[in-house]
Structure 1
Amino acid sequence: MHDDITDIPGIRVGHDTDLTAGTGCTVLLCDSDAVGGVDVRGSAPATHETDLLNPIHMVDEVHAVLLTGGSAFGLQAVAGVMRYLEEQHRGVDTGVARVPIVPAAAIFDLAFGSPHIRPDAEAGYRACLQASSDPVIQGNVGAGTGATVGKLVSPLLAMKGGLGSASTRLPDGTLIAALVVVNALGNIHDPETQQVIAGTRELLGSDTLAANPFSNTTIAAIATTASLNKAECTKVAQMAHDGMAQVIRPVHTMFDGDAIYALALGPRDTPRLPSAQAAQRVSIIGAAAAQTLARAIIKAIRHARTLHSIPAAQA
């Protein structure tokens, strides 16, 4: 196992990275249709196709998830992912065309490099072309390129965030994995030592505080080999937010757009468990998703490197 989300069979991850502009996007492609759910806890989200994942809505298949920089502008990259999937004949069959379902979420990184260069349709398409089941490149890559953390006092005192991924195998063989972009207002705490490993730096004499609290948001995708329905995926996404709360403080603020997508890639024809057993299984998967996401966040910080004068934590 790689200890990342490509341990889930049928998942490929690709990045498009612009180090100069300090932005990029990351795509998670599903080689077979996945069942999806979502839970948004931050109060400043930039998202696409979240309503469709509501369990009361009809479509129950997802073909990719996009995590991107560029704030709401970066959601343009969805068009490139959809174009790639259409070329692969993937999507919901509407009778006249196949429509790819690509939920997406964006971080605000416009203040990091260039505010005028953001991921676009071509960036999303390039990320798809790079997608593979190889170990996921982490740190300053893709949607994590312009990510920073520790901005509660001022963005000028931030440290480098990034992209991270981790996976867990349950005793019954079920796999749960996380892919996360860590761009939080809060500080990052090591769950074992409870020490801050990345966050607000000390104010130096030459520093002046800037009032721009909007450059935040932690976004993630959870995937599992279990067979779950949309309501169960939504519960897993909800529980996975506990992983953010374990290591990001504060989290889910008015200036964060924290969002988690959950994908189930298990066989669609698996017999349903009795309700009590199904609830227990979802609870176990959700708890494992939280722990896995917390590890992925720490890995994002450990893999990040100094960029555009924003210092990284010590590896």
Structure 2
Amino acid sequence: MTTMLNLITDVSGIRIGNAHDATAATGLTVAVFDRPATASLAVMGGAPGTRESALLEPETTVAAVDAIVLSGGSAYGLDAAGGVMQALAAQGRGFAIRDVRVPIVPQAILFDLLNGGDKPWARGEGEPPHRALAMAAVAAAGKDFPLGSVGAGYGATTVNLKGGLGSASAVTRTGHTVGALVAVNAVGSATVGDGPHFWAAPYEEGGEFGNCGLPVDFDRQALLPRYKGGPGQNTTIALVATDAVLDKAMAKRLAMVAHDGMGRALRPAHAPLDGDLVFAAATGLKPLPEDDIYAFADLGAVAADCLARAIARGVYEATALPLPGALPAWRDLYRPKRPTA
């Protein structure tokens, strides 16, 4: 039996690569599929930044994608998909049109331009690093990868703590594996008030984000929304995946339901001026049982739970950037508890 890593790569057919630029305090994460995967997306934030998102709608022609990119850099980061395309084209990957292949690489971006990093390209000086970073991330893609201040989560923040890259996985009762990957750059908070407790605490597995539970005495003031920065400075972007066989319409529904995980783990989420979105992908290795009408519903429920857990893990595993005015990391303020038996 294969050991679970509690990462999205527990879903067979997916590899993850990360790369970042420490000076610029930005980075990206690439999900590379071993073979083209069925994919769609659902956007719940009011200000998304995407590339190739229209082709993921169920009514469009292209049926599968070769990779998906989560990137920092705001709109400058959209260069990343071109780097992934170049790397995959060199491997002979892509949608075949006669003797030409075009790698299909949708992308979403988050805003990390004001986190203290030196970004001369945002002032019109030089080229953004994201295309080169993307090629490095494809080359580094594998089954095991770190979380926290890496990849697309390198420059990410929340309203009160350093954000980061998170992931989690689970198996449904029908034996299908589901995983989530997220770059947490939230407009709000992943934690309850000013304490160590994560909103996602009820969904935690094995002490994966500190085993703090929910506060015993709940301060109702913690329910008041707190907002980070100004318009356009936030976005939590995610990918959920499964080894089930899905068509694009089902992948769209899976992405929609997975957004429940953001609502469970972040307060608030889906603001008018963030770009919160979820991609959903299916590697198609295991059909759903035809005689179980709730098997697909289970995928959505588990994907939402995985996304909530991944969000908390991204914040829990983050480290503060060594930059003036940088937000503290969760681990700077709180000591993790040992998992209970």
TM bracket (short chain): 0.7 to 0.9
What's 1:144 paired with? 153
After TM superposition, give the deviation of residue 285 of structure 1 in Å.
0.2
Q: Any gaps of 5 or more consecutive residues in structure 2?
A: 122-127, 192-197, 202-212, 337-341
Indicate if the aligned counterparts of 1:46 and 1:72 stay in contact, CA closer than 8 A. Answer: yes
Summarize the Cα distance change of 1:123–1:262 in structure 2 as closer, same or farther, 3 Å threshold: same
- State the Cα distance separating 1:19 from its structure 2 match: 1.9
CA contact (8 A) 2:19 2:137 kept: yes
| Partner in structure 1 of residue 194 of structure 2 | none
**Hey, what's the Cα distance between the residues in 2 that align with 1:310 and 1:17?**
18
User: 1:30–1:64: 8 Å Cα contact kept in structure 2?
Assistant: yes
Partners of 2:316 and 2:284 in 1: CA distance: 31
Alignment of 1:1-315 (within 5 A): 1-112=4-115, 113-117=117-121, 118-133=128-143, 135-150=144-159, 158-189=160-191, 190=198, 191-192=200-201, 193-194=213-214, 212-267=230-285, 270=287, 273=290, 277=292, 280-307=294-321, 308=323, 309-314=326-331, 315=336
Distance 2:53 2:229 in 1: 30
For residues 68-98 of structure 1, the C-alpha deviation after alignment (integer angstroms, 9 at most, x for no partner) is 0000110101111001111111111111311
Preserved contact between residue 5 and residue 136 of structure 1 (Cα < 8 Å): no
**AA in 1 matched with 2:43:** V
Q: For the residues of structure 2 that align with 1:186 and 1:120, how far apart are their CA atoms?
A: 26
CA distance in 1, matches of 2:108, 2:309: 21
Deviation at 1:271, TM superposition (A): 8.5
- 1:148 is paired with a residue whose SS is coil
Q: Which residue of 2 aligns with 1:205?
A: none
Name the SS for the 2:27 alignment partner.
Answer: strand
The amino acid that maps onto 2:271 is T
Identity of aligned residues (%): 42
Change (3 A) 1:243 1:120: same
The CA deviation at 1:130 is: 0.8
| TM-score normalised by the chain length of structure 2 | 0.81
Which segments of 5 or more consecutive residues in structure 1 lack a partner in the other structure? 151-157, 200-208
Q: Shift of the alpha carbon at 1:27?
A: 0.4
Describe the shift of the 1:217–1:95 C-alpha distance in structure 2 as closer, same or farther (beyond 3 A): same
Q: Is the 8 A contact 1:149 1:183 kept in 2?
A: yes
| Cα distance in structure 1, aligned partners of 2:12 and 2:104 | 19
- Structure 2: distance between partners of 1:147 and 1:194: 24
The residue matched to 2:284 in structure 1 has which SS?
coil
Between stretches 32-41 and 166-175, larger displacement belongs to: 166-175
The answer to whether the Cα contact below 8 Å between 2:288 and 2:296 also exists between their aligned partners in 1 is no
Shift of 1:115: 3.6
Seen in structure 2, the aligned counterparts of structure 1 residues 310 and 58 have a Cα distance that, compared at 3 Å, is: same
2-structure distance, mates of 1:74, 1:271: 37
Per the alignment, do residues 173 and 50 of structure 1 end up closer, same or farther by CA in structure 2, a change over 3 Å counting? same
Question: Which structure 1 residue ranges, 4+ long, deviate > 6 Å from structure 2?
Answer: none
Question: Aligned partners of 2:66, 2:229: CA distance in 1, in Å?
Answer: 39
After TM superposition, give the deviation of residue 171 of structure 1 in Å: 2.5
Aligned residues: 292
Aligned-residue RMSD, C-alpha: 2.1
Contact kept, 8 Å, 1:3 with 1:167, in 2: the verdict is yes
Query: Deviation of residue 267 (structure 1)?
Result: 3.6
State the TM-score, normalizing by the size of structure 1: 0.88
1:110/1:116 contact within 8 Å kept: no
Amino acid at match of 1:146: G
Tell me, yes or no, if the aligned pair for 1:63 and 1:90 is still in contact at 8 Å: yes
Q: CA deviation at 1:194?
A: 4.4
Structure 1 distance, partners of 2:233, 2:277, is 15
Seen in structure 2, the aligned counterparts of structure 1 residues 9 and 271 have a Cα distance that, compared at 3 Å, is closer
Which range is displaced more, 114-123 or 280-289? Answer: 114-123
CA deviation after TM superposition for structure 1 residue 141, in Å? 0.5
